[in-house]
Chain A
Amino acid sequence: MTSAVAPPGELTAELRGFREVQRLAYECAEAVAAQLKPGVTEREAARMQREWLRERGVRDWFHLPFAWFGDRTAFVGFRIPLQFFPTNRRLEAGMPFILDLAPVHKGYTADIGYSGSLGLNPVQDKLLADLEAHRELILREVRERRPLREIYEDVDRLMVRQGYANRHRAYPFGVIAHKVDRVKERRWSPHLFGFGTQSLKGLASDAIHGHRDGWSPLWSPYKFSDHPPQPGLWAVEPHLGFRGTGAKFEEILVVTDSRDPEQSAFWLDDDLPHVRRWAEDK
């Protein structure tokens, strides 16, 4: 799969499969976001995502959908991972929200993040606009084959320059990205703490193999990420925080072993809500 790029500009069948589920996930996020009203709770928003995708055939998850409202978009006061799970926090006018969902469909995995607000929120607008520079920086440095740990630090520096805090540091292992893969479709797919067991198995086996070869499926600020980008599909999720407001995107970056820089790394899909939004603002 890893060198699997068809003629320039076209995707292999496999990548098309990933792109399809990623689009489906973003469609879900947009549909649910459009239904959010004052008073809706995070749990309800998470359930709306689950149901929307179930109706469209999704049976397994990399992780169950998350929803964060208000200052929880910036993970204010988060200390333990359980705090990521949806709560009874209610949405209010002007509040920012983030939907984060990772469905598995026909054996392909997506993991996406969608940021928005109920009505106007100039601070989050600004954060979202400033995420564009991060998308560019990450792609550029991955193409340069810089060690992931260093790219992580450059993203950090850009955030600090912009005046923001790094909030992906709050994720388990502080990751800015993690690998995703194909998953075997099973009749019964239980989850563990919100994560699909099939996908966890995939990550674990990657971690074991990678450990032997000196790389990790988790892209972190730590020593184990001190290696050049590993071919594969990476769900990249830079997450900015600013005084109780957070914003992120999450989408798949394809890394290959091609020598052609353009082919060595590219975003799986450029037709996503945040990318369209940046284009419109210009």
Chain B
Amino acid sequence: MTLQGARERWVRTGGVELCVAELGDEAQPTVVLVHGYPDSKEVWSEVAARLAERFHVVLYDVRGHGRSTAPRPLRGGFTLEKLTDDFLAVADAVSPDRPVHLVGHDWGSVQAWEFTTVKRTEGRIASFTSMSGPSLDHFGHWIKKRVSHPTPRRVGQLLGQGAKSWYVYLLHTPVLPELAWRGPLGTQWPKILRRLEKVPAGDYPTPSLPTDAAHGAWLYRDNVRARLRRPRTDAYAHAPVQLVTPLGDTFLSEKLCDELERWAPQLVRRTLPAKHWIPRTRPDQLTAWITEFVTAVEGGRPTPVTDGPYADRFGGQLVLVTGAGSGIGRATAFAFAEAGARVVAVDRDAESAARTAELSRLIGAPEAWAETVDVSDEQAMEKLAEKVAAEYGVVDVLVNNAGIGLSGSFFDTTTEDWRNVLDVNLWGVIHGCRLFGKQMTERGQGGHIVNTASAAAYLPSKALPAYSTSKAAVLMLSECLRAELAGQGIGVSAICPGFINTGITSTARFTGVDADEEKRRQKKSARLYGLRNYPPEKVADAVLRAVVRNQAVVPVTAEARGGRLMSRFTPRALRAIARMEPPL
């Protein structure tokens, strides 16, 4: 079926026969993918195909699932001890001489935690990437701690996770789950996945689903109660662990992993905005993180550091920033670089873009490139989009930031002036959203677009008619696009800064005055912005926060926030201010 080009073999162990599939070059490090409930190994088809370009990829159907046979009797046939036997049998068959890299999702991760924390597998596991499946032992201790020392917060956490575990109680009832899965739930499940979990349609789930789900109920019945009541006290990981947490998981609370460093000292944390079935919905991101982690462990290099702010979220992601040669754009590129993102610094000024890329590499970007492009040039932007997709990949976060200033009365603003400012400030954003947003939607694995608007977008002023118009357009464009892309896991944010101390004042154009007077006004406004002294780095922080929290409109600085409130509640006062002469 979906595992194209896979080599199959059967491994006999403990009274069952396991169906094992292999992809990729056997000389490369072995990555073993373990599926969850109710799934079969095909849940990994997208990830496996991608990983196979670099690794020897091994998948197997857990006993009683997919094409592997089920133990007889079922009761007592799914204990973690037996599942560990199965894993060792598979590992010995596919990689007898070298330890393997484990990857588990959901119940596959629950099992793999057991593999990684019991003595008898020591030396057989090189690393473990865990997704949405805690160790039952760690979970048991987590509950115990909260029950024995209840504080209001801990009780809240207990109730929170308790509510998310409703299905676990249901699965403990006899016979009913089996009936449901073999009946209506089994037929409806693909639709449910698509509707609620946004899992793309296709050849997943497989026809074996009703049996997988019925048998898999014994995973819970055989293990959950026993382990939660008497969790092992020695469940320490003997291999480096990478923890991938989808923030929109409806079954597991993030809080479960708060104290994980105690059990897994070399923990690398990753988070992503997605729901539970990330092997289906985010295969590119998972492949990138697994590849990075496995390569680091294999190379004996320190595992990626993810303790900077937001490094768990942006590590390894591809971020493109326009206007990255100065001010807010440059600070934003640096902030993403510090979080471990790969950075494309775009600016029409080649030298400053190159500088941004160079310094980005110094402070944590694994890779950074400079691209010299004028964002208002449609063809150049098209070329850029093609090049980026071909050479660096699909952009995960796009920051349309390039912009220019223009000040002067409406009647002093020539059509040429209008064209200039709209070409850069509005069309630049349109081109960026159109080209890179399209690549994001076509990939179908989420992403985020940030547009730098301005507080001028909602604060009228007789001194800034053209600039404010362009920014108001950017703000509205962002809101509309946000509505359109909401269903595809792509967020859109508009950032509205107030007065930020950047170079924009010395390059802004002042219409209706001669060159000397323009110079004087540039200097004067530069000094005023300098006195306000709000650093672009703080705007950059707001940009990263906006992406992490998927905020729609983010005013930055007190004047921008205050202005936003006034535009809602006292618009007449703003109109009065709009008529004042600027102090230049």
Contacts and interface: CB of A to CB of B under 8 A. Distances in A.
Interface of A: 122-123, 126, 160-163, 165, 242-243
Nearest to B333: A163
Interface of B: 326, 330, 334, 338, 352, 355-356, 359, 362-363, 503, 535
5 tightest A-B contacts by CB?
A: A163-B359, A123-B362, A163-B355, A122-B362, A243-B363
Given A243-B334, A243-B338, A162 B362 contact: no
A163 B338 contact: no
Nearest to A161: B352
Contacts of B359: 126, 163, 242
Contacts of A161: 352, 355
10 contacts: A122-B362, A123-B362, A123-B363, A126-B359, A126-B362, A162-B355, A163-B330, A242-B359, A243-B334, A243-B363
A72 B409 CA distance: 46
Nearest to A242: B359
Contacts of B362: 122-123, 126
Contacts of A165: 535
A73 to B, nearest CB: 15
A123 B364 CA distance: 10
Nearest to A126: B362
A170 B373 CA distance: 36
Contacts, number: 21
Contacts of A126: 359, 362
Nearest to A160: B503
Given A162-B355, A163-B334, 12 more contacts: A122-B362, A123-B363, A126-B362, A160-B326, A163-B330, A163-B355, A163-B356, A163-B359, A242-B359, A242-B363, A243-B334, A243-B338
A250 B326 CA distance: 28
Nearest to A156: B530
A161 B351 CA distance: 10
A145 to B, nearest CB: 21
A247 to B, nearest CB: 13
A243 B352 CA distance: 18
Contacts of B334: 163, 243
Contacts of B356: 163
Q: Which of A122, A126, A162, A163 has the most CB atoms of chain B within a 10 A radius of its CB?
A: A163
A278 B334 CA distance: 26
Contacts of A123: 362-363
Q: Which of B330, B356, B362 has the most CB atoms of chain A within a 10 A radius of its CB?
A: B362
Nearest to B501: A160
A187 to B, nearest CB: 46
A119 B352 CA distance: 29
A224 B352 CA distance: 33
B353 to A, nearest CB: 11
A162 B330 CA distance: 11
A165 B537 CA distance: 10
Nearest to B535: A165
Nearest to B502: A160
A233 to B, nearest CB: 29
Contacts of A160: 326, 503
Contacts of A163: 330, 334, 355-356, 359
A248 to B, nearest CB: 18
Nearest to A221: B530
Nearest to A162: B355
A160 B327 CA distance: 9
A163 B326 CA distance: 8
A126 B356 CA distance: 13
A160 B506 CA distance: 13
Contacts of A243: 334, 338, 363
B126 to A, nearest CB: 27
A5 B536 CA distance: 46
A204 to B, nearest CB: 28
Contacts of B352: 161
A163 B349 CA distance: 14
A243 B330 CA distance: 12
A187 B244 CA distance: 68
B290 to A, nearest CB: 28
A266 B116 CA distance: 67
A224 B213 CA distance: 80
B142 to A, nearest CB: 33
Nearest to B533: A169
A242 B331 CA distance: 11
A126 to B, nearest CB: 6
Contacts of B355: 161-163
B429 to A, nearest CB: 24
A105 to B, nearest CB: 39
A122 B363 CA distance: 9
Contacts of B535: 165
A126 B355 CA distance: 12
B406 to A, nearest CB: 22
A243 B503 CA distance: 19
Q: Which of B326, B330, B363, B535 has the most CB atoms of chain A within a 10 A radius of its CB?
A: B363
A122 B365 CA distance: 14
B345 to A, nearest CB: 11
B368 to A, nearest CB: 12
B199 to A, nearest CB: 40
